[in-house]
Chain A
Amino acid sequence: MQSIIERIEKEIASWTPDSGSEEVGVVRATGDGIAEIDGLTDAVMAEMVLFDPTHDRTLEAALKDPQPIYGLVLNLEEDAVRAVILGDASKVHEGMLVRRTKRLLSIPVGDSLIGRVVNPLGEPVDGKGATGANEMRPIEREAYGVIDRAGVNQPIHTGIKAVDSMIPIGRGQRELIIGDRGTGKTSIAIDTILNQKSEPEEKRPICIYVAIGQKESKTAKLVAELEARGALEYSIIVTAPASAPAALQFLAPFAGATIGEYFMEQGKDALVVYDDLSKQAVAYRQMSLLLRRPPGREAYPGDIFYLHSRLLERAAKLSPEKGGGSLTALPIIETQEGDVSAYIPTNVISITDGQIYLEADLFNKGQRPAINVGISVSRVGSSAQTKAMKKVSGKIKLELAQFRELEAFMQFASDLDAETKQRIDAGRRMTQVLTQKRGQPLPFEMEAAVIFAATNGYLDGFAPEAVAGIEAKLQEYLSREAGGVLEAIRTSKEIREETEKTLREKLDAFVSRVQTA
């Protein structure tokens, strides 16, 4: 009690009357989370404003609820400004005083955000108290220019054989994950986050998962999974659930990018997953229509492309002079009935450096992940692959594409020649090898060894339908008896001659052991 009295006395003694003036406006009208404000003639675009609930109340009432409500200026009009309300809009009323803050919408960033779940304003929502992050950064900023960037040449391993071998992703790249609902888009992103656990700590990227318009139960489940698998210790979750105002859903990816940039500028690597940008586009459309901006195609505003391009352009691999950090972006887009030619999907496809296309048909056939290899691509290509992976995965994509063609042909032809049958069986085997269950990412050296076995004919003696079981045994065998080989691949990132020799010996031994058994 004494300490409280002392503190109050200290505050009173140190209090000096404010000698300046503030720029203020008055709420003219409010509704649907938008406020029309008179005054604020000098307000700037994307500036934060404060709706002051204490101004027209008695001191007693003001102290009961002193928290201001933030707003974001998004329309500067001839005689008023329009702002989206970033809090409880029901508390904002006509005639309410609005104060300028003279700062752009900023969020706190810092190392202490790691392991936390925050909202797009950087406020904790995980019940673990204040985040302790105190460096404020504007959530909208210009992306790095050409001079500040370096080429993307380091891989970020997803732990998914099909991705790492055929659609390699580099640190600083923007790779779109696209597909219908329920085809495993989020699973690929989560597996990528989980797989970073196998990276050495100094090279492990900080992973930021941005949940936009998702069910809170889904986000809670995801956080629990990351925590259980020890991945939360290098992850940050930014959540703007379906129940959050459209403004927060629109801001969430920018908040994720801002947090990622903080780590990138420290010379670290960061990975940010935007799950998903379709919902962000819908939230932005809602906001734009309420702000009375003219609607365009599918009622989206004219700047919907710029919304996504300015966000994704912030992913970068910085030059050594700038610290050499990177921000990799994995945006997710949900398609309707597999239509990749819709407005938002085509926009984001054209912005990103490639896409992983997941197909419902493949998913229903049991292929996991349900990646359509034919139209999935990584424009960074093999420059973001380790030598080891390059060596083993050379022709997989071409062979699989040929297999898909033959497979289609097979449906009509009953009598196939031996060579065609052999090719089809090889394709089936490879498909089985690339099949991987959710939540089981593989370290890169294991991926390389398994794919080496598949592409060098070590699995040819087995029936295609038996390959999945054989592969599981092979992984077990390699981790038990070929630790040295795996270690050599992990450290050197390539399969040198002597390593290859030992690996072949081990694989021969494995095949003969399985065949005799």
Chain B
Amino acid sequence: MIDQYSRLLRSVAQLEDASQAETAVKKLVAHLKSSGRAKMLPQILRELRTIMARRAALAPRVEVAHKKDAARALKAAKAAGIEAEEARVNASLVSGWRAIGGGKLVDRSGKSALAGIYKKITA
């Protein structure tokens, strides 16, 4: 039951119109109250938070080794189908950039290249 309500809320969370989302939540709360299931609300909230955290983990992100590469990386990532608002600096990349989003990884970092060469040599 909680799973079903959570799924409902997940689809509500995808609504772009905030007023529509608010109405949906109000209706859900009213429905839970009328059916005597109001005590489920905290569990549904917890489940929704989990869903949101999962979505955040899968949200598109672009990482660059150096701040100066940010604009170029965001443009290249967009061309590859991954659109992020900003690029985060990750010094462990050594050089270049990488982008993850929509179940796709584009890795143009120095770290990946060096690790690849290392694997080939030591194989």
Contacts and interface: CB of A to CB of B under 8 A. Distances in A.
Interface stretch (B18-26, B38-46, B104-112): B104-112
Interface centre among B92, B100, B105, B108 (most CB of A within 10 A): B105
A57 to B, nearest CB: 7
A17 to B, nearest CB: 6
A99 interface: yes
A11 B57 contact: no
Contacts of A15: 113, 116-117
B54 interface: yes
Interface residues of A, number: 29
Nearest to A24: B105
A23 interface: yes
- The secondary structure that dominates the A interface is mixed
A7 B123 CA distance: 13
Contacts of B108: 17-18
Given A24-B103, A38-B54, A63-B115, 4 more contacts: A21-B106, A28-B54, A38-B57, A59-B114
A26 B118 contact: no
24 contacts: A8-B121, A17-B108, A17-B113, A18-B112, A21-B80, A21-B81, A21-B105, A22-B105, A22-B106, A22-B107, A23-B105, A24-B103, A26-B57, A28-B54, A38-B54, A38-B57, A38-B58, A40-B103, A58-B111, A59-B92, A62-B115, A63-B115, A66-B115, A97-B100
B68 interface: no
Give the top 3 A-B pairs by smallest Cβ distance, nearest first.
A39-B103, A24-B105, A58-B92
Contacts, number: 65
A41 interface: yes
A54 interface: yes
A95 interface: yes
Contact of A63 (B100, B106, B118): B118
Interface in A218-238: none
Interface string A1-18: 000000110011001011
Given A7-B121, A18-B107, A24 B54 contact: no
B94 A59 contact: yes
Interface in B85-113: 92, 94, 100, 103-108, 111-113
